Amino acid sequence: MSIERSHKYYREQINSLTRIPSLPLIATELMQVTNDDRLSVNQLLPIIEKDPPLAMKVLKIANSAYYGMHRKVESLRHALVIIGMKELGDLSIGFSVMNTLSDSDDPAGLHWDKLWEHSAGVGHIAQLLQESLGIQTGSSPYALGLLHDVGKIILYRLEPEKYVQIIEYALENLTSAEEAENHILGIDHMTIGSWVAEKWQLPESILNAIKYHHSPELVQEPANQVSTALVQIADIVANLQSISFGRNFQRSIPREETGWVILRNASQKLAEMDFERFVMSIEDEVIVIKELVKLLSGH
């Protein structure tokens, strides 16, 4: 199939509600509320309280090693202060999407836990990088990382057998996932992911991270360009530390990526930072990342 024809075909697949689930109402509500700059605890709390499994996760996360609190966090209100409201809103959107997409049917037996591990890892690294560089982005880098590769799960849901072939093709030909996807399906995870993000009306920052995490220079809006660049570099760091889904043979060098230039222009600190040391330090974070993924996926 030509690229145009396969794009048209998959566009129709995405538009038919039966193949791609709709986003849970709670995620839509959370997005509306967290888009508001005057976000208050009193707006956010009741929405999360309405969803006991979500509320439970939020508490668990506030109590996880990720936040390193010494005293037990028992109330949602307290958890909200620790995690931060905007972050919590974004995280909750991330969980909803995750839950919606990773239902129990796994027709070809791929281990998606690895993808979530990679995604949570990218989110965590993006956040650490943002802190080290002292840059402000309007959105939580964690949520962007968590969702950047969502298109892979969507392609798998649409074409389970072919997706297994894609992973094999990438392995045999030492190529990237997107090259293998384009070769076998005529579409890649960034494109299909961005269509679903549009359909679900996810925030612009998340849409950009999904669509352009391999080419952040294409993002128009400056703040979103920076947050997408954070995701690109964090993605490479995660793969360098083997927090990967499948095998990644594209040994990209962070300094040679467009995201590096974007971040360097956004913060002087990048030039001063010992980046190799930063990459090494991620090794110690792997356990924390894995613990968080277990909490998120509810195992």
Residues found near Fe ion in the complex (CB under 5 A)? 149, 235
CB 207 within 8 A of CB 197: yes
Cβ-based nearer residue to Fe ion, 57 or 211: 211
Q: Give min distance, CB of 251 to Fe ion, in A.
A: 14
Q: How far is CA 56 from CA 38, 79, 191, in A?
A: 25, 11, 34
Work out how close the CB of 202 gets to Fe ion at its nearest, in angstroms, rounded to a whole number: 16
C-beta closer to Fe ion: residue 54 or 190: 190
Question: Of 89 and 216, which CB lies nearer to Fe ion in the complex structure?
Answer: 216
Query: Which residue, 159 or 235, has its beta carbon nearer to Fe ion?
Result: 235
Q: How far is CA 52 from the centre of its chain?
A: 23
Q: How far apart are CA 213 and CA 106, in angstroms?
A: 26
Write the CA distances from 259 to 71, 82, 105, 184, 197, integer angstroms.
39, 30, 36, 28, 22
Smallest distance, Fe ion to C-beta of residue 285, A: 16
Question: The tokens of 138 are what?
Answer: 């309007």
The distance of closest approach from Cβ of residue 44 to Fe ion in the complex, given in angstroms and rounded to an integer, is 29
Work out how close the CB of 82 gets to Fe ion at its nearest, in angstroms, rounded to a whole number.
Answer: 28
Take residue 51 and report the two structure tokens written for it.
């969803």
SS3 at position 176: coil
Which residue, among 222, 230, 219, has the nearest Cα to 257 in the 3D structure?
Answer: 230
Q: What is the dihedral of CA 128, 134, 139, 142, to 10 degrees?
A: 0
Taking residue 199's Cβ as centre, other Cβ atoms within 10 Å add up to: 14
CB of 145 to Fe ion, least distance (A): 8
Nearer CB in complex with Fe ion: 200/212: 212
Choice between 89 and 246, CB closer to Fe ion: 246
Q: How far is the CB of 118 from Fe ion (least distance, A)?
A: 6
How far, in Å, CA of 120 to CA of 146, rounded? 5
Nearer to Fe ion, 100 or 215 (CB): 215
Query: Roughly what angle, to the nearest 10 degrees, separates helices 150-158 and 160-173?
Result: 120
